Structure 1
Amino acid sequence: MQVESEYLPLYKNHGIRLTTWSPLAFGVLTGKYNFGVPPDSIFVVENYKNLSSQSLMDDVLKKVRKLQPIADELDVPMSQLAIAWCAANCHTLPG
Structure 2
Amino acid sequence: MGLADFFRKKTSSGVAKDRLKLVLVSDRAGCSPELMEQIKNDIIAVISRYVEIDLEGLDIKITQTESEGNNGTVPALFANIPIKDMKSNK
- The one of the two structures with greater contact order (alpha-carbon pairs below 8 A, sep at least 6) is 1
Structure having the larger proportion of residues in helix: 1
> TM-score, length-normalised on structure 2?
0.38
Structure having the larger proportion of residues in strand: 2
